[in-house]
Structure 1
Amino acid sequence: MRYHTAVFDLDGTLLNTLQDLADSTNYALAVNGLPGRNLDEVRCFVGNGVGKLIARAVPEGTPEALTAKCLSDFRAHYFINMENKTAPYPGITEMLSRLGQEGFHLAIVSNKFDSAVKGLCQTYFEGLIPVAIGESQGVAHKPAPDTVFKALQELGVPAEGAVYIGDSDVDIATARNAGLPCISVSWGFRDRDFLLSHGATEIVSNPQELYAALTDEKER
């Protein structure tokens, strides 16, 4: 077997969260009298945590206090609306189940705030992924490797034999900083050309290809 541990990004890798993120972003902007953003804009804004998402979504020159208010409104709205339109990408749940049956250690590491990461993991992957870590105070978020190391520690496994899987340039940098190989997925928030231009070395286009890459088995 090629690896024994797979650490996954969440948004754009396991779950299609884009519409719920966009809805909460536009709610926060609207209640603060700011213009909304379309889905493609929000797609480009995600990946570095919700603080960066809102900072990119508000108009240039927005006062810091108003940006902070938007972030607070986003968090409150998203926490109770994050499962409205979100769903695993087709084939993800089946792939995770197969990996678990084969003894893989599985974790999620995301720049989304920690309570949301844990809540979404419980809703969609309970019994499949035992460790889920998001952004929290005192722990550097991706692309720093700290949350990846925390996940490996909670799983009780060494870094050797682990791989990081994600859909963005942030994930590529995170894996590099953690000293892990990276498998990039092209079905998420960044396309294949973008991933290649940001240093991707291995790209898969569907969960079946990802399973084959993780287990080093040829697709049947």
Structure 2
Amino acid sequence: MDLRLAIFDVDGTLVDSQHLIVAAMQAACEGAGCAAPARQALLSGVGLSLPQLVAGLFPDQGAPVHRAIVEGYKHHYARLRQEGGEANVTPLYPGALEALNALHAEDATLLGVATGKSRRGLDFILESFDLRRHFVTRQVADDHPSKPHPSMILTALAETGVAPERAVMIGDTSFDMEMARAAGVRAIGVSWGYHDARRLERAGAEAVVDTFDALRNMLWSGN
């Protein structure tokens, strides 16, 4: 049996985390004594590793302030998550669970994750929604260069033994699409996340879907 691999981004693709991201960054900036970035500027950078995101948002600040914001963000993200409950603060997008369950049930399909989240953050999501068993390869920011470097996807391919032409990356940002193209795998964008369809297409998305049902219908077309 020729296996195929669907690799999912998390924030903006599987879970709606924008409220938590914005609140954690505002608290981190307050603690570091600097103004919080505009909401759209912050969300547009979601998907990058946290240090790279912070450096891009605060180019006029030095490394000590960057470190303070990064550590403050991690602290407040974890605090807010625990206070609010992951299922309430970062809910799965409509149709996500049903799509993952259906794909997981396909004998020839393996599922993976490639996310800018930390290992701890991803583990919390997977445990909260009972998704750990779905994903055979889980790539996080702790272990790789920031997207769009292809390291996450290349490692997922190596761990699963799936050929690049049998793999697809599903994400909501141009960083996901660029990462997929750099790794030599297909790229499908979703319209409900942080980058619009035109930006995803310019970054290399072969298609941008509006629902998880549409994603499932076209995921393995031609494979």
TM range (shorter): 0.7 to 0.9
Provide the C-alpha distance between the structure 2 equivalents of 1:3 and 1:130, rounded to a whole number of angstroms: 12
Provide the C-alpha distance between the structure 2 equivalents of 1:160 and 1:118, rounded to a whole number of angstroms: 28
Query: Paired residue for 2:91?
Result: 87
Displacement of 1:3 in angstroms is 7.5
Identify unmatched segments of 5+ residues in structure 1. Answer: none
Query: Paired residue for 1:65?
Result: 64
Provide the C-alpha distance between the structure 1 equivalents of 2:205 and 2:191, rounded to a whole number of angstroms: 11
2:197 counterpart letter in structure 1: R
Provide the C-alpha distance between the structure 2 equivalents of 1:68 and 1:130, rounded to a whole number of angstroms: 33
1:201 and 1:91, CA in 2 relative to 1: closer, same or farther beyond 3 A? Answer: same
- With the length of structure 2 as denominator, give the TM-score of the two structures: 0.86
Displacement of 1:108 in angstroms is 0.4
The reply on whether 1:34 has 2:22 as its aligned counterpart is no
Query: Paired residue for 2:132?
Result: 126
* Mean Cα deviation higher: 69-78 or 49-58: 49-58
1:72 counterpart letter in structure 2: E
Is the 1:4–1:162 Cα contact (8 Å) retained in structure 2?
yes
Is the 2:3–2:110 Cα contact (8 Å) retained in structure 1?
no
The structure whose residues are more often helix, as a share, is 2
* Mean Cα deviation higher: 28-37 or 208-217: 208-217
> SS at 2:30's partner residue?
helix
> SS at 2:169's partner residue?
strand
> What is the aligned-residue RMSD (CA, Å)?
2.2
Identify unmatched segments of 5+ residues in structure 2. Answer: none
Runs of 4+ in 1 over 6 A off after TM superposition: none
Q: How many residues align?
A: 214
> SS at 2:140's partner residue?
strand
Query: Paired residue for 1:21?
Result: 21
Q: 1:107 aligns with which of 109, 112, 130?
A: 112
> SS at 1:165's partner residue?
strand
2:136 counterpart letter in structure 1: P
The reply on whether 1:175 has 2:191 as its aligned counterpart is no
Displacement of 1:156 in angstroms is 4.1
Is the 1:121–1:129 Cα contact (8 Å) retained in structure 2?
no
2:39 counterpart letter in structure 1: L
Q: 2:197 aligns with which of 192, 197, 218?
A: 192
Provide the C-alpha distance between the structure 1 equivalents of 2:154 and 2:26, rounded to a whole number of angstroms: 34
* Mean Cα deviation higher: 119-128 or 205-214: 119-128
1:39 and 1:85, CA in 2 relative to 1: closer, same or farther beyond 3 A? Answer: farther
| Identical columns (%) | 27
1:133 counterpart letter in structure 2: Q
> SS at 2:115's partner residue?
strand
1:15 and 1:133, CA in 2 relative to 1: closer, same or farther beyond 3 A? Answer: same
1:34 counterpart letter in structure 2: C
Displacement of 1:131 in angstroms is 2.7
2:162 counterpart letter in structure 1: V
Is the 2:173–2:194 Cα contact (8 Å) retained in structure 1?
yes
Provide the C-alpha distance between the structure 2 equivalents of 1:130 and 1:11, rounded to a whole number of angstroms: 19
Provide the C-alpha distance between the structure 2 equivalents of 1:122 and 1:153, rounded to a whole number of angstroms: 25
- With the length of structure 1 as denominator, give the TM-score of the two structures: 0.87
